[in-house]
Amino acid sequence: MSSLVSLVYGESETRPQFYSRKEKSLGVLCSNFLGLYNGDCAGTSTVGLDDAANRLGVERRRMYDVVNILESIGVVARKAKNQYTWKGLEEIPRCLEQLKKDGLKENFNSAGSCSSARVSNENQCGGLLSLNTGGEANHLASLRKNNKSDKSLALLSQNFIKLFLCSNVDMILLDNAAKALPGDADDETTLRTKVRRLYDVANVFSSLNLIEKIRHSESGKPAYRWLGWKGKLKNGFDTASEINEPKKRVFGSDITNYNSKRNKTNSVVGWKSSKETSVRMHNKLVDLEHEYDENELKQHPRHKSTGIDFGPFAPVSVLKARDAAFKNVKQVQDMESLASTYRPQYHNQALYDLFAHYMEAWKSWLEATRKQQTQQIC
């Protein structure tokens, strides 16, 4: 007990905090990054990697992760060495639209020879580029260097999004996504690495509120559900831009290009990495999800799964409190940032822990409440 106290007594000002993994997550970093630049004049404000890294207190390596993913969404664009241009969150809907279009286009034609033809033509040649192919017309999409190792995080991130936008499934298990996305789906090591990466992008997308992590009641593995861009970040702040209406479902997930091919028989041959069409990814994914669902639904008939556990600090009347709480989210947010900014520097470990505990409990309650709210909205 006393030994800990002495530890907390650190002379390092800011944060006695013992190591906490989640405070350093990419998601948090992304939020901070956005908080730092959102509001800047889009298109002209430039982001310096070193500057950002310093201001956010992280190593430069991490900036690459965040920036690459954000770039795949159009929020920033690489300008030069160490320099990115802030494009703004307003860029997101446009970019998603484009990704969806690209994804659908890749569906049937393979875009082999024809460079930027708008009309789809049926001809499948061996070499088909995945996205951001040559087409200079492709203004706002990412402009990756040609074949910069098609394993890039940015590409993975875009393909991950396409999975949602171009298929009718809206709940995806990362394991399945890894298998469905381009690349070797048979090699266990490769898959594990890909899943690691997917966790990375999922974290930043979560902080953008583009997707949401959901838990399939019990026994179910965690999965992600597409939310689409609603103009709000994870912490409830509105985009600087405007206050769009509720919007039932941002992008139609009603594409019915089902084309169930049942190409279950995945031979060892497989397709060259990144040369896979969305349709294959789609079908593959659908298969995987079905497989999963069949197994799942066996024992869990049709559970509402809205079981939120409020933990030990559950408010007495959650339901009653919920509405009120939501009206005050904004204010609460201020409290939150205040609390984290002026976190008491308790020299007594017990007190410190208690405070932390309260914060945790309160945060999860707030989070859960928010989730329910958004669920009701759409």
Partner DNA sequence: TTTTCCCGCCAGAAG
Partner DNA sequence: CTTCTGGCGGGAAAA
Residue 84: strand, helix, or coil = strand
CB-nearer residue toward DNA: 20 or 306: 20
Determine, following the binding rule CB under 7 A, whether residue 85 of this chain makes contact with DNA.
Answer: no
Work out which of 9, 43, 64, 117 binds DNA, going by CB under 7 A: 64
Residue pair 365/313 in contact by the 8 Å Cβ criterion: yes
Determine, following the binding rule CB under 7 A, whether residue 145 of this chain makes contact with DNA.
Answer: yes
CB-nearer residue toward DNA: 188 or 242: 188
Residue pair 274/130 in contact by the 8 Å Cβ criterion: yes
Determine, following the binding rule CB under 7 A, whether residue 22 of this chain makes contact with DNA.
Answer: yes
Determine, following the binding rule CB under 7 A, whether residue 311 of this chain makes contact with DNA.
Answer: no
Task: Write the CA distances from 45 to 37, 77, 83, 95, 154, integer angstroms.
Answer: 8, 11, 10, 19, 22
Determine, following the binding rule CB under 7 A, whether residue 19 of this chain makes contact with DNA.
Answer: yes
What pairing do the DSSP bridges indicate for beta strands 171-172 and 76-80? unpaired
Determine, following the binding rule CB under 7 A, whether residue 12 of this chain makes contact with DNA.
Answer: no
CA–CA distance, 377 with 374 (Å, rounded to integer): 5
Work out which of 45, 85, 152, 372 binds DNA, going by CB under 7 A: 152
Beta strands in the chain (DSSP E): 46-48, 76-80, 83-86, 171-172, 211-215, 222-226
Work out which of 89, 165, 202, 208 binds DNA, going by CB under 7 A: 202
Stretch that binds DNA, among 15-23, 133-141, 325-333, 338-346 (CB under 7 A): 15-23
Joined tokens for residue 281: 């990814």
CB-nearer residue toward DNA: 21 or 139: 21
CB-nearer residue toward DNA: 105 or 144: 144
What pairing do the DSSP bridges indicate for beta strands 46-48 and 222-226? unpaired
Determine, following the binding rule CB under 7 A, whether residue 113 of this chain makes contact with DNA.
Answer: no
Query: Minimum Å distance from CB 285 to DNA?
Result: 17
Stretch that binds DNA, among 123-131, 144-152, 245-253, 274-282 (CB under 7 A): 144-152
Query: Minimum Å distance from CB 64 to DNA?
Result: 4
CB-nearer residue toward DNA: 68 or 107: 68
Determine, following the binding rule CB under 7 A, whether residue 212 of this chain makes contact with DNA.
Answer: no
Residue pair 107/257 in contact by the 8 Å Cβ criterion: yes
Determine, following the binding rule CB under 7 A, whether residue 196 of this chain makes contact with DNA.
Answer: yes
DSSP states of 289-358: HHHHHHHHHHH--S--------GGG--TTHHHHHHHHHHTHHHHHHHHHHHHHT----SSHHHHHHHHHH
Q: Which residues of 31-68 are buried (b: 16+ CB within 10 A; e: fewer)?
A: bbbbeebbeeebeeebbeeeebbeebebeeebbebbbb
Stretch that binds DNA, among 21-29, 103-111, 242-250, 332-340 (CB under 7 A): 21-29
Size of the site for DNA (CB under 7 A): 43
Determine, following the binding rule CB under 7 A, whether residue 273 of this chain makes contact with DNA.
Answer: no
- The answer to whether the Cα torsion of 64, 199, 238, 167 is positive or negative is positive
The residue ranges that bind DNA (CB under 7 A) are 19-22, 24-27, 49-50, 58-62, 64, 67-68, 80-83, 145, 148-149, 151-154, 174, 189-190, 192-193, 195-197, 199-200, 202-203, 221-222
